[in-house]
Amino acid sequence: MPSAFNFALSPFDCLSSDERQAVRDHVDIAYLRAGDVALELGVEPACLFVIIKGHVDQLDGDQVVASYGPDDSFDGRALVAGQVASRFVATEEVLAYQLARSTVMALIASNATFGALLFADLSNKLGALARRGSQHELQSLALARVAEASVRPVHTVPADTDIVSVVRLFSAQRTDHVLVHDARSQPPRLGIFTTTGLQRAILAGRPLDTLPVGELASFTLVRVRPDAYLFDAQAVMIRHTVRRVVVAEPDGAGGERILGTLDQLDLLSFLSNHSYLITRQIMEATDLAALAVAAGQVQHLIGLLHRGGTPVRLIARLVQELNALLFDAAWRQIAPPALVANSCLFVMGSEGRGEQLLRTDQDNGLVLRDGYEPPADLAEICERFSKVLAEFGYPECPGRIMLSNPAWRHGATVFAQTVRRWLFAPDVESLMALAIFIDAHAVSGDGSLLEGLRQELFQSVLDNDAMMARFASAIDAFDAGQGWWMRWLTLGDGEERLDIKKAGLFPLVHGVRSLALAHRITATGTVARIEALAADQRLPPDLATALIDSLHFFMGLRLKAGLEALDSGQPYSGISVSRLSSLDRDLLKDTLGVVKRFRTMLGQRFRLDML
């Protein structure tokens, strides 16, 4: 057998030395001419093919559903099923390894990872990939749970306890906070008092031995569950600008069991990144120059986390919270307090959905409270905000979908009328605006102003099949013919680049958004929408899981390519097909196949063939 078999290829890179020897002992070479059938529909396969040279098309009838090139293998699924489900035809001269079926089945029996990567569905492949060798991810402390951190026991005192007694408790128990139980309120409530509150106690001017702690406690507790990721707990702290959270779980009787508190410093002992420092920089910034420094650190943090193996979904969650904090701080430094209090600044697009990683164009707007008279220089204030974000590294939107554009800042009533116009009289521009607005997420000011608009939008959605079909039809905006992306993955000349947003992300995200709108699901994140649709039996569970896996895979590929572009000083220009590993190519085929299946389902659901 040839000694040049490349064991660096997936799935053969997970084999042991003995398993590799078995491959060497049972592999042969096959030669196919252009037009030769490698595997015929319905036959029992005798071997697994691994292409050395040339290309093979997988056909479903006359349609090309996949193309395979050098280093690709086929058809592992048929080996396990015992029957070929498609025709595999050489499109040119092909030289390939043939690995006997008995050997492949023995490898599957002895090596579960090999079997999963060879023939399993997308979720199992990704799971096997993590088990196989993604040690950074498995070791990433970001995957630790709250219960694994230093959850400190907490003491509870009645609300009428005097401050002096509480300070004595601080000293005796070596703590700096207590929970405060107010039994007199209806219903009874639980709050927290910390050493920070002692300043207010002293400044109150009353004798501390008669001042009840309940008068100075904060009764807005921020809670996390013990099974939450530490990364999620950190994101919660950033969003609420608190230094500790209460760890609680249901008690089984409709109440909750307090397990303790998690302090930010304890959390940081688990997370080896700079997000805490960035948070403090933002919160303590006294001018826009200081905020610009923090904005630059966010980009650095993303690269640090990605190289450390942190899952892309967790990176996106943290970036959303840090960006929201940054935008809020910048808006408060630019806008007068009355404007901040009587308006809601919101972001849209991937930022609104919590799926932005590297910086993209600004997508934001402003809704004003009805009856509030904005400052005469509102236009200048909004223009300055857009320019400041551009200076921070967030480019201005080419379509001017940002609050410096008067079309994206209105009073609540006018904004509601605008949204209804987008919904009921949908032309192309209106449908685009509607799609963008559905993803809106409040970052500063009175969030109830935006929530009111979103609730009114979803209450106004009617069973208008024609409108929903036009809205959903955008999933085909970048379609370039059946199977084009499959050929692109294997027939490139080394310079081919794949726009993963057009090929995978956009049809997935907009398709989910369309279903969510049709079924009045108000969640903004794509994963949350998918989960809600699956729970409502609007999506098959297996497709829902595959869509979530595909989304995160696309985001990870795009992030990796974007970071490589930044490191090289070049603009991002898509995914370099020639630089994909065989495993990434295999996973990309699977994920784009999931998108194709989803688009077919959407076409039937919204009757897109009638447009």
pLDDT in tens, 315-357: 898 889 899 999 999 999 999 999 999 999 999 999 999 998 8
| Type of residue found at 151 | V
Quote the distance between the C-alpha of residue 558 and its chain's center.
12
pLDDT band at 269 (very low <50, low <70, confident <90, very high): low
Percent of the chain with pLDDT over 90: 45
Contacts of 374 (CB under 8 A, 6+ apart): 339, 342, 343, 368
Q: Are 450 and 584 in contact (CB under 8 A)?
A: no
pLDDT at residue number 73: 86
Q: State the Cα–Cα distance between residues 510 and 515, nearest whole angstrom.
A: 9
Digit-coded pLDDT (tens) for 132-151: 444 444 344 556 788 877 68
pLDDT for the residue 506: 92
145 by Cβ neighbours in 10 Å (0-12 / 13-18 / 19+) ranks as: middle
Question: Both tokens of residue 335?
Answer: 């806008």
Burial 2-26 (b: 16+ CB within 10 A, else e): eeebeeebbbbbbbeeebeebbeeb
On whether the CB atoms of residues 327 and 345 are closer than 8 A, the answer is yes
pLDDT, position 493: 44
Helices (H) and strands (E) in the chain, counts: 26, 20
Please tell me the distance from the alpha carbon of residue 287 to that of residue 334, in angstroms, as a whole number.
Answer: 10
Backbone angles phi, psi at 304, to 5 degrees: -65, -45
pLDDT digits (tens, 9 = 90+) for 43-98: 999 999 999 999 998 888 887 777 788 888 888 878 877 888 889 999 999 999 99
Which residue bears the tokens 């809205």?
471
The pLDDT, as a whole number, for residue 492 is 44
- Residue 205 makes CB contacts below 8 A (sequence gap 6+) with none
pLDDT at 439: 95
- Mean pLDDT value across residues 473-479: 79
CB 48 within 8 A of CB 104: yes
Is the model's pLDDT at 491 over the cut of 50?
no
pLDDT at 33: 95
Residue 494 predicted with pLDDT over 60: no
The tokens describing 19, both together, are 């398993």
Beta-strand pair 63-68/56-60:
antiparallel
Tell me the average pLDDT across 17-42. 92
What pLDDT, on a 0 to 100 scale, did the predictor assign at position 481?
Answer: 44
Cα→Cα distances 69→38, 100, 433, Å:
14, 20, 41
- Candidates 557, 542, 567, 562; CA nearest to 589 is 557
